[in-house]
C-alpha cells in the first residue's frame, strides 16, 4: 500500500475515492495492456484502472468542504429568469482530483464536448467496475414520473425529454445505477442544476440532475448503489425530482425497461400519494403566506 493512501485511511478520511496505482486490479483480458510498474506509472499515457476503494460520503453533512457557491442565471425563452443554483458540489481533493486534472474531467470545456461525443479512450481506460445491461433504480424513495420521449402537453410538445423523471421528497437519496467514474459534478449545464454524470466502462453514461447537493466530484470512482447526492429542485424544475438520463455514447436512450430494484406497484402508489400530500401542503403554505401578506398590507393602508 502506498504511503499517501495509508495516511489518508489512518486519518479516517473516507471522503473521496482513492485511486491507487500500485495495487489496482487489472481490467479486461490478460495482457490487455502493460501493468503499471510503479506508482509513478499513473502519470503515463495509459492511466491504470481507477480503484473502487474508499466510499464518498453518504450525506452532504459529511462533506468536508464545498466548491464556492455559484448561481448561474439565464433568461427563459418565455421571459423571466431561472438559475442553476445554488451550487452544492464537494471541493475536489486527493488522488481523485489529480485523476480528474490529468484527464481534464469536470470542467465546463469537458462537459460541453462530452455531451455530444464518444468518451476519449484515455478516459474510458480509467473507468472502474464492470459494464452491465441493467440499471439500479436510482431513488429508493422515488416513483416513476414523466417518461422518456415526446409528450402531448402543449408546453412540452416539441421538446424531447431525454430521460425519466423520478419525483421524491427533497433530500431523498440518489444512488449510482452502475459502477463507474464521475466525470462531471457541477451546475454548468443549463437547466440541469446540480448535475452528476457517471461514465460506465462501455461508454454508457448516467446523468443525475436537479440535485439539492452532490456528495461526489469529478475523478471519483463509484460503485453501483453508492450515494451520489440528494433529490432537489435546482435548475429548470418546479418540484423536487431526479431527472435521470441513460446514454449510449452521446445518444440518450429510454432506460425504463432496464431498471431493477424499483419499488413495487403498491409502494409506488404510496409514494405518489405522499408526493401529492406534499404538493397540497406546499400550496396551502403558499396561500397562507399570501393571505398574511395581504392582511399586513391592509393593516398598513387602513
Binding site for Zn ion (CB under 5 A): 165, 243
Instruction: For residues 79 and 76, give the distance between their C-alpha atoms in angstroms, rounded to a whole number.
Output: 5
Report the residue number, 92 or 167, with the smaller CB distance to Zn ion. Answer: 167
Q: How many CA atoms lie within 13 A of 123 on its CB side?
A: 29
Instruction: For residues 262 and 260, give the distance between their C-alpha atoms in angstroms, rounded to a whole number.
Output: 5
Report the residue number, 110 or 244, with the smaller CB distance to Zn ion. Answer: 244
Size of the chain in residues: 302
Instruction: For residues 232 and 236, give the distance between their C-alpha atoms in angstroms, rounded to a whole number.
Output: 11
Residue 147 beta carbon to Zn ion: minimum distance, rounded to whole angstroms: 9
> For 283, which DSSP code?
H
> For 257, which DSSP code?
G
Residue 131 beta carbon to Zn ion: minimum distance, rounded to whole angstroms: 25
Residue 207 beta carbon to Zn ion: minimum distance, rounded to whole angstroms: 10
Report the residue number, 87 or 243, with the smaller CB distance to Zn ion. Answer: 243
Report the residue number, 243 or 262, with the smaller CB distance to Zn ion. Answer: 243
What are the two backbone dihedrals, phi and then psi, of residue 234, each rounded to the nearest 5 degrees?
-80, 155
Report the residue number, 88 or 243, with the smaller CB distance to Zn ion. Answer: 243
Q: Which of 90, 118, 119 is nearest to 103 (CA)?
A: 119
Residue 209 beta carbon to Zn ion: minimum distance, rounded to whole angstroms: 7
Nearest residue to the partner Zn ion, using Cβ = 243
Report the residue number, 125 or 243, with the smaller CB distance to Zn ion. Answer: 243
Instruction: For residues 222 and 276, give the distance between their C-alpha atoms in angstroms, rounded to a whole number.
Output: 33
Residue 165 beta carbon to Zn ion: minimum distance, rounded to whole angstroms: 4
C-alpha cell at 220: 471519483
The C-alpha angle 22, 27, 33, rounded to 5 degrees, equals 80
Amino acid at each position: 500500500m502506498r504511503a499517501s493512501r495509508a495516511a489518508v485511511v489512518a486519518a479516517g478520511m473516507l471522503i473521496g475515492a482513492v485511486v491507487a496505482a500500485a495495487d489496482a486490479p487489472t481490467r479486461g483480458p490478460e495482457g490487455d495492456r502493460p501493468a503499471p510498474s510503479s506508482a509513478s506509472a499513473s502519470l503515463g499515457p495509459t492511466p491504470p484502472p481507477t480503484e473502487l476503494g474508499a466510499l464518498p460520503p453518504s450525506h452532504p453533512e459529511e462533506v468536508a468542504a464545498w466548491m464556492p457557491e455559484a448561481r448561474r442565471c439565464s433568461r427563459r425563452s418565455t421571459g423571466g429568469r431561472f438559475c442553476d443554483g445554488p451550487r452544492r458540489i464537494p471541493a475536489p481533493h486527493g488522488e481523485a482530483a489529480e485523476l480528474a486534472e490529468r484527464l481534464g474531467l469536470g470542467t465546463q470545456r469537458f462537459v460541453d464536448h462530452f455531451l455530444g461525443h464518444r468518451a476519449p479512450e484515455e478516459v474510458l481506460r480509467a473507468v472502474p467496475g464492470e459494464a452491465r445491461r441493467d440499471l439500479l433504480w436510482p431513488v429508493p424513495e422515488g416513483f416513476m414520473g414523466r417518461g422518456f420521449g415526446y409528450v402531448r402537453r402543449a408546453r412540452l410538445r416539441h421538446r424531447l425529454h431525454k430521460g425519466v423523471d423520478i419525483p421524491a421528497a427533497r433530500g431523498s437519496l440518489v444512488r449510482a445505477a452502475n459502477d463507474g467514474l464521475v466525470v462531471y459534478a457541477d451546475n454548468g449545464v443549463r437547466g440541469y442544476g446540480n448535475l452528476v454524470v457517471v461514465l460506465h466502462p462501455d461508454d454508457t453514461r448516467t446523468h443525475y440532475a436537479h440535485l439539492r447537493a452532490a456528495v461526489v466530484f469529478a475523478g471519483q470512482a463509484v460503485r453501483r448503489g453508492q450515494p451520489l447526492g440528494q433529490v432537489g429542485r435546482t435548475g429548470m424544475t418546479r418540484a423536487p425530482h431526479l431527472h435521470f438520463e441513460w446514454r449510449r455514447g452521446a445518444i440518450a436512450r429510454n432506460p425504463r425497461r432496464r431498471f431493477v430494484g424499483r419499488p413495487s406497484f403498491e409502494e409506488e402508489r404510496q409514494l405518489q400519494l405522499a408526493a401529492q400530500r406534499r404538493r397540497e401542503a406546499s400550496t396551502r403554505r403558499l396561500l397562507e403566506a399570501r393571505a398574511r401578506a395581504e392582511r399586513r398590507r391592509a393593516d398598513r393602508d387602513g
